[in-house]
Chain A
Amino acid sequence: MSTRRQWLKILRGAQMMLFYLVVITLVFVIIGPVFFVVSLSFLSAREAYSYPLPLLPALTVRYQLTHGERGYMLSVYDRVEKEYIPVLDTDDLEKMATYMRSRLGTSVTVQDIEAQIARLQQEDPVYFTKRANLLHNYTTFFQITRDAVPSLIRSLQICALTILISLSIGGMAGYAFARYQFAGRDLLKFSALFVRMFPGIAIALPMVIILAKMGFYDRPIGLSLVYAVGNIALTVWITASIFMGIPESLEEAAEVFGATRLQAFLRITLPLALPGLAAAAMYAFLGAWNETVAALILTQFNPTFSVVVYQSLVGATGQINLAAAGGIVMAIPTVTFTYFIRRYIRQMWGGVTL
């Protein structure tokens, strides 16, 4: 009897291990690619284009300096080849410093180099180590992409407006959906499908003209009006689901004690729905923040942040390590919000089905 128990224990332990093995594999598949992009965003330009790509950024960079044909020969230690590779031969110290900053990601001044050259008198070659500036790509991204900061602000405006429009208009309809029976209720529900059936890109073009007529073209409000179309439909579902989760009897109780329907909603239902609505707002944020294609078509001189990141990727100046840094910056708010949203999945999606 007790040996059977032991066997069962072992069996269950094995099952458990298998289960966690599956889970861990899945985790690797999911975050593996993300890991490489994060890592890429910390790599120096030289390493970002090397093969095999280093898994982790170097914390320090080891240099070798000696006399070269044109002046001084700078070599840098390659972690993969495990030897010093010559990278620059020049007598222009300014150029060398710039090279060490932008290509190799170390903060070096001309004085630093002069100090090393002085050492060449005693020993040749000289070796020295510099701390890698891990945030180099991030600072560079914001320096060389002129539009980065204004576009970031613009994107935030667009998201705020999109949330405002879709949560107010969609939220009202969602409340009606949750609390009332009315003609057109099914139409409202299925509109979430309808508005997705027509290719978004095909709507963007006529929208240029419509927005231009309204004077909203190339302005944040214009884009948020477009984003809100798809968002409202989802917001109706999500808010309806949230309101369904709050018993109507709570409102009725308030009404019995003398509140109007509106007061009951504002004082009872809204505070209870607030966390769920916040999650819905964040969900709307994800869509508006990440959208790039309509933004490309509907902006001209005032791009969104996603457009700026996109252009840093495809543009002539594109460097994948810089683009990766831009992408990571872009992902910071969305990932943060996702962390919050995950607790409200049931509230957001549990109520409404076709």
Chain B
Amino acid sequence: MATLELIHVTKRFGKKVVAVDDFSLRVEDGEFLVLLGPSGCGKTTTLRMIAGLEEVTEGRILIDGEDVTDLPPRKRNVSMVFQNYAVWPHMTVYDNIAYPLRLKRVDKKTIDETVREAARMTKIEELLDRYPSQLSGGQQQRVAVARALAVKPKLFLMDEPLSNLDAKLRVATRTELKAIHEKTGATTIFVTHDQSEAMSLADRIVIMRDGKIEQIGTPDDVYHRSASIFVADFIGTPPTNFIDVEVQVRDDQIHLVNPYFDFPLNPENAAKLRDYPKRELILGVRPENIVLVSEDEAIFSTQCLVSEPQGSHQIIAIELDGKIIKIVAPAYPKVRSGETIHLNFKQEAIAFFDKDTGRRIE
């Protein structure tokens, strides 16, 4: 297995389009790394540069410390699962898996063993003699994975391999991919725009925006310590709530003030804002960190707009400053629309963001 380093990698299409902008990253041996971001942010381009399918405009790419920036794909010893699978329609499933090995001049017996092993792992042993046109989308996806596994690559690249599957199959396959990774320990770069997929699979997540890295971190990092409004908004369903607040210092305490509430910060949070020069900032609170409390513990009270029971919990929507704020609350007691509720923030889990840069204030 292998490590991967991208050093100040930039990709421009023509003069104007900057698809990937000064991208630096180190992927450790055996790591499962997810590239996450909205469509068009440059994930595919990054992956294709790693594979060697796209020329790098600036910067360098190292695999196992060796500079592969100018090597053609075949000399990089990586394998890839394409978004539309790219299973060769004129070859049987067996040949699809075997062909890359034949290209590498592996002997016949080893090829046969490897193909069967990969087919067993991906549960497509009965399909080996079929042509791709006789397979369902999910089965083609497995063939693509089996083909990528069989070559025992240094790097395993996957470009939204689950996005063409239906919701149920997607979740099931996700678990299997994770299991396969545990077994093989292959260094994996996995591209997706689905944050829940990223959270459930990744050792680390790289969140991209407009070709740049917005944050790198474990699923916990990006969820609980989102580096920016963009990340806090992108990760989690429902996403983080953002509330405009003013900072006021009264009686030696730092207060967050808003037409709806005015409350003092606890010492840890206050420490973060002690030296903050601006008076206005954005408060970020995840829906589960707004809690229903009794009237005297509340920092503000309002009416419930709608409530959506979810079985294990309920999602309550309120209106604040013209914006919808969502709250995840325990399933009981049931809150009805129009009912007045009393709310407080879990201070240990709130975050502050700069109004201009959108970055987190530490």
Say if the two chains contact directly (CB < 8 Å). yes
Which A residues form the contact surface with B (CB < 8 A)?
Answer: 1, 4-5, 8-9
Closest to B67 in A: A1
Assess whether B140 is interfacial by the CB under 8 Å rule. no
Which residues of A are found within 8 Å of B70, using beta-carbon distances? 4-5, 8-9
Closest chain-A Cβ to B54's Cβ sits at a distance in Å of 15
Assess whether B69 is interfacial by the CB under 8 Å rule. yes
Alpha-carbon separation in the docked complex, A346 to B351 (Å):
54
Which residues of A are found within 8 Å of B69, using beta-carbon distances? 5
Closest to A7 in B: B70
Which residues of B are found within 8 Å of A1, using beta-carbon distances? 67
Alpha-carbon separation in the docked complex, A1 to B69 (Å):
11
The 6 closest A-B pairs by CB, nearest first: A8-B70, A1-B67, A5-B70, A5-B69, A5-B67, A4-B70
Which residues of B are found within 8 Å of A5, using beta-carbon distances? 67, 69-70
Q: A4-B70, A5-B67, A9-B70 are in contact. List 5 more A-B contacts (CB 8 A).
A: A1-B67, A4-B67, A5-B69, A5-B70, A8-B70
Closest chain-B Cβ to A15's Cβ sits at a distance in Å of 12
A-B contact pairs, 8 of them (CB 8 A): A1-B67, A4-B67, A4-B70, A5-B67, A5-B69, A5-B70, A8-B70, A9-B70
Alpha-carbon separation in the docked complex, A39 to B360 (Å):
72
Alpha-carbon separation in the docked complex, A4 to B67 (Å):
10
Closest chain-A Cβ to B261's Cβ sits at a distance in Å of 49
Which residues of B are found within 8 Å of A9, using beta-carbon distances? 70
Q: Mark B69-93, 1 if CB is under 8 A from A, else 0.
A: 1100000000000000000000000
Which B residues form the contact surface with A (CB < 8 A)?
Answer: 67, 69-70
Closest chain-B Cβ to A80's Cβ sits at a distance in Å of 48
Which residues of A are found within 8 Å of B67, using beta-carbon distances? 1, 4-5
Closest chain-A Cβ to B133's Cβ sits at a distance in Å of 16
Closest chain-B Cβ to A5's Cβ sits at a distance in Å of 6
Which residues of B are found within 8 Å of A4, using beta-carbon distances? 67, 70
Alpha-carbon separation in the docked complex, A5 to B70 (Å):
7
Alpha-carbon separation in the docked complex, A8 to B69 (Å):
11
Alpha-carbon separation in the docked complex, A114 to B302 (Å):
109
Alpha-carbon separation in the docked complex, A9 to B55 (Å):
12
Closest to B71 in A: A8
Closest to A9 in B: B70
Alpha-carbon separation in the docked complex, A226 to B67 (Å):
66
Closest to B66 in A: A1
Alpha-carbon separation in the docked complex, A118 to B314 (Å):
112
Alpha-carbon separation in the docked complex, A4 to B69 (Å):
11
Closest chain-A Cβ to B69's Cβ sits at a distance in Å of 7
Closest chain-B Cβ to A122's Cβ sits at a distance in Å of 65
Closest to A1 in B: B67
Closest chain-B Cβ to A13's Cβ sits at a distance in Å of 13
Alpha-carbon separation in the docked complex, A1 to B62 (Å):
12
Alpha-carbon separation in the docked complex, A5 to B69 (Å):
9
Closest chain-A Cβ to B266's Cβ sits at a distance in Å of 53
Alpha-carbon separation in the docked complex, A95 to B123 (Å):
95
Closest chain-B Cβ to A157's Cβ sits at a distance in Å of 47
Alpha-carbon separation in the docked complex, A312 to B67 (Å):
68
Closest chain-A Cβ to B59's Cβ sits at a distance in Å of 12
Alpha-carbon separation in the docked complex, A5 to B71 (Å):
10
Alpha-carbon separation in the docked complex, A1 to B67 (Å):
8
Closest chain-B Cβ to A350's Cβ sits at a distance in Å of 16
Which residues of B are found within 8 Å of A8, using beta-carbon distances? 70
Closest to B70 in A: A8
Closest chain-B Cβ to A81's Cβ sits at a distance in Å of 53
Closest chain-A Cβ to B121's Cβ sits at a distance in Å of 37
Alpha-carbon separation in the docked complex, A287 to B8 (Å):
56
Closest to A12 in B: B70
Closest chain-B Cβ to A19's Cβ sits at a distance in Å of 15
Alpha-carbon separation in the docked complex, A319 to B252 (Å):
106
Alpha-carbon separation in the docked complex, A349 to B259 (Å):
67
Alpha-carbon separation in the docked complex, A1 to B71 (Å):
13
Alpha-carbon separation in the docked complex, A351 to B69 (Å):
38
Alpha-carbon separation in the docked complex, A9 to B70 (Å):
9
Closest chain-B Cβ to A129's Cβ sits at a distance in Å of 49
Alpha-carbon separation in the docked complex, A9 to B67 (Å):
14
Alpha-carbon separation in the docked complex, A50 to B6 (Å):
67
Closest chain-A Cβ to B70's Cβ sits at a distance in Å of 4
Closest to A11 in B: B70
Alpha-carbon separation in the docked complex, A295 to B67 (Å):
67
Closest to A5 in B: B70
Alpha-carbon separation in the docked complex, A5 to B60 (Å):
11
